[in-house]
């Protein structure tokens, strides 16, 4: 059978009912159900768990991925009305244990707790709190786990029963009906609203004595329950009695309201009770539907021993794998960037050496420019200036004064002795060299001019 499977277990001290469903898309398929009972030798929950595991293996097509929910019989837990100062569900969850201890004036440290918010206003929230002893939770969980069944959640039976009624109610049913449901030895009064809304009245559960007049019980308890419900439960009264000893019409006439009978087990389309108690079947069926709603505190296991089954283990494995992959990606990133870091180190060393050479050349500078490109340009400009200076040119590309004087002296040395050259004055500027002097005759003057022309250009000659 394909699809996710869900197993609902309604567990009591001596009996248990199990229902298995399969979900494909949005359609549920009923796979089977059975009931088991202990031999009454004191083995209790351990024997019940072993019988459940044995019958599941023989009668139901479950697998390791089947999600299990346990619904505790009302004889195993206690119900209390508690007030919380908070409206936010997270704040309620953090303080509900203290509020319950204060309301009961007793220690509940040895009890697991679940709760349901009934109403909220400016003064806080009214809660229905369920408590179950740790010993019971330990016996149930360890017994089932030892038989390879690990429940995702453990909840009160009345909550599972409410979910079953809501899930299987038809669209044309009247909303806010009051349901009185009697099994062979249990009684439940609850209000359910159409559309999946939880009952906003504290559900009532109680044990029935053998031989008790059920008609009298209904007539006594219904008015009290309706008073507790306030505006709820006024739409209609639906009664189910597994012993068929309650007459709904008679009860309705005595109460002055319209009462109807309804078939509890046949609400689940396509399912069969298979010799199970109809009320136990409905509770187990509702437990199998626990995944359809988000539990806001109605889970004993969340308070006692949070579920650590295959799904959570898989989620933890995914988290660990994600961490490992993150570390691996970081390691690969470091490995890829190491060569770049080494190149950066080489770059810094070269830059350091360049800085020493640059500052040695650029005497007026105390540090490198912000950009290496700018530093290279200024260095090249300085090299060009030095080369020009050595070649006798200034920054504009013309001969320097020193170079001009060198050329003049060169010309003097060539002809001074032969021409009887006498220099009176030499004036040197950026553009010109003005020489004032005399020779022994005109021919010697011409020889001097020819010597000068070999290295310099003569722009003007004046004779006296």
Q: Final residue of a domain: which of 357, 388, 419? A: 388
For the chain, the farthest-separated pair of C-alpha atoms sits apart, in whole angstroms, at 166
User: Bridge-partner residues for 132, per DSSP?
Assistant: 112
Q: Do the domain assignments include residue 379?
A: yes
Tens digits of per-residue pLDDT, 352-384?
A: 777 777 777 666 676 767 666 777 777 777 777
Question: In the predicted model, what is the mean pLDDT of the chain?
Answer: 81
SS (H, E, C) 87-122: CCHHHHHHHHHHHHHHHHCCCCCCEEEEEEEEEEEC
Question: Do 350 and 416 sit in the same domain of this protein?
Answer: no
Q: Is the pLDDT of residue 37 over 70?
A: yes
What's the rounded Cα separation, in Å, for the pair 165 and 168? 5
What's the rounded Cα separation, in Å, for the pair 419 and 451? 11
Q: Do the domain assignments include residue 211?
A: yes
Overall average pLDDT of the 219-241 stretch? 76
DSSP 393: B
Q: What is the pLDDT of residue 45?
A: 80
Question: Do 382 and 437 sit in the same domain of this protein?
Answer: no
Count of structural domains, the chain: 3
Q: What is the pLDDT of residue 322?
A: 93
Question: Do 355 and 418 sit in the same domain of this protein?
Answer: no
Overall average pLDDT of the 410-434 stretch? 73
What does 404-419 look like in DSSP terms, one character per residue?
Answer: HHHHHHHHHHHHHHHH
Q: Which of 96, 71, 97 is closest to 86 using CA atoms?
A: 96
Provide the whole-model pTM: 0.67
Q: Final residue of a domain: which of 273, 307, 341? A: 307
User: Bridge-partner residues for 34, per DSSP?
Assistant: 18
Residue range of the domain that includes 59: 4-307
Question: Do 80 and 165 sit in the same domain of this protein?
Answer: yes
Q: Which of 155, 187, 141 is closest to 48 using CA atoms?
A: 141
The enclosing domain of 56 has a CATH number of 3.30.420.380
What's the rounded Cα separation, in Å, for the pair 97 and 260? 40
Q: Final residue of a domain: which of 275, 307, 339? A: 307
pLDDT band at 272 (very low <50, low <70, confident <90, very high): low
42: left (phi over 0), alpha (psi -120 to 50) or beta: left
Question: Do 148 and 62 sit in the same domain of this protein?
Answer: yes
What's the rounded Cα separation, in Å, for the pair 417 and 354? 53
Q: Do the domain assignments include residue 110?
A: yes
Q: Do the domain assignments include residue 393?
A: no
Overall average pLDDT of the 31-48 stretch? 81
Q: With the C-alpha atoms ordered 194, 200, 206, 212, is the resulting torsion angle positive or negative?
A: negative
What's the rounded Cα separation, in Å, for the pair 365 and 369? 9
Question: Do 360 and 426 sit in the same domain of this protein?
Answer: no
**Residue 278: both structure tokens together:** 């109809």
Question: Do 115 and 154 sit in the same domain of this protein?
Answer: yes
What's the rounded Cα separation, in Å, for the pair 154 and 304? 10
Question: Do 359 and 427 sit in the same domain of this protein?
Answer: no
Question: Do 101 and 48 sit in the same domain of this protein?
Answer: yes
Question: Do 154 and 279 sit in the same domain of this protein?
Answer: yes
Q: What is the pLDDT of residue 317?
A: 85
Other CB atoms within a 10 A radius of the CB of residue 151 amount to 26
Q: Do the domain assignments include residue 157?
A: yes
What's the rounded Cα separation, in Å, for the pair 54 and 56? 6
Q: Do the domain assignments include residue 321?
A: no
What's the rounded Cα separation, in Å, for the pair 227 and 29? 39
Question: Do 291 and 333 sit in the same domain of this protein?
Answer: no
CB 11 within 8 A of CB 140: yes
Q: Do the domain assignments include residue 140?
A: yes
Percent of the chain with pLDDT over 70: 81
Q: With the C-alpha atoms ordered 39, 44, 49, 52, is the resulting torsion angle positive or negative?
A: positive
Question: Do 347 and 213 sit in the same domain of this protein?
Answer: no
Q: Do the domain assignments include residue 193?
A: yes
């Amino acid at each position: 059978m394909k699809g996710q499977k869900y197993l609902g277990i309604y567990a009591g001290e001596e009996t248990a009912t199990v229902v298995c469903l399969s979900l494909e898309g949005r359609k549920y398929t009923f796979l089977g159900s059975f009931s088991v009972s202990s031999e009454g030798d004191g083995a209790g929950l351990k024997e019940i768990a072993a019988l459940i595991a044995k019958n599941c293996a023989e009668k139901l097509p479950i697998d390791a991925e089947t999600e299990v929910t346990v619904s505790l019989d009302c004889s195993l837990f206690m119900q209390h009305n508690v007030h919380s100062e908070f409206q936010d569900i997270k704040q309620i969850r953090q303080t509900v244990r203290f509020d319950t201890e204060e309301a009961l004036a007793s220690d509940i440290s040895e009890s697991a707790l679940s709760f349901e918010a009934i109403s909220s206003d400016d003064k806080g929230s009214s809660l229905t709190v369920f408590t179950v002893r740790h010993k019971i939770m330990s016996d149930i969980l360890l017994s089932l786990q030892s038989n390879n069944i690990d429940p995702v959640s453990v909840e009160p039976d009345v909550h599972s029963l409410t979910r079953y009624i809501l899930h299987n109610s038809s669209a044309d049913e009247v909303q806010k009906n009051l349901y009185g449901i009697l099994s062979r030895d249990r009684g439940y009064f609850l209000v359910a609203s159409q559309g999946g809304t939880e009952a906003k009245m504290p559900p009532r559960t109680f044990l029935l004595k053998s031989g008790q007049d059920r008609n009298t019980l209904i007539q006594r308890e219904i008015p009290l329950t309706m008073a507790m419900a306030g505006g709820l439960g006024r739409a209609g009264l639906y009664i189910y009695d597994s012993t068929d000893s309650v007459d709904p019409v008679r009860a309705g006439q005595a109460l002055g309201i319209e009462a109807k009978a309804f078939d509890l087990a046949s609400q689940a389309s396509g399912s069969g009770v298979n010799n199970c108690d109809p009320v136990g079947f409905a509770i187990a069926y509702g437990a199998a539907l626990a995944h359809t709603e988000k539990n806001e505190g109605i889970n004993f296991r969340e308070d006692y021993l949070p579920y650590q089954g295959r799904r959570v283990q898989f989620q933890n494995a995914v988290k660990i794998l994600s961490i490992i992959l993150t570390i691996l990606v970081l390691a690969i990133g470091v490995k890829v960037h190491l060569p770049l870091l080494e190149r950066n180190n080489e770059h810094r060393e070269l830059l350091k050496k360049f800085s020493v050479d640059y500052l040695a050349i650029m005497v007026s500078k105390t540090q490198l420019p912000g950009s290496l490109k700018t530093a290279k340009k200024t260095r090249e400009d300085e090299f060009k200036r030095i080369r020009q200076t050595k070649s006798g040119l200034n920054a504009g590309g013309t001969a320097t004064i020193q170079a001009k004087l060198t050329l003049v002296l060169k010309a003097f040395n060539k002809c001074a002795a032969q021409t009887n050259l006498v220099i009176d004055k030499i004036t040197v500027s950026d553009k010109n060299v003005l020489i004032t002097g005399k020779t022994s005759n005109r021919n010697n003057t011409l020889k001097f001019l020819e010597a000068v022309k070999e290295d310099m250009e003569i722009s003007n000659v004046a004779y006296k």
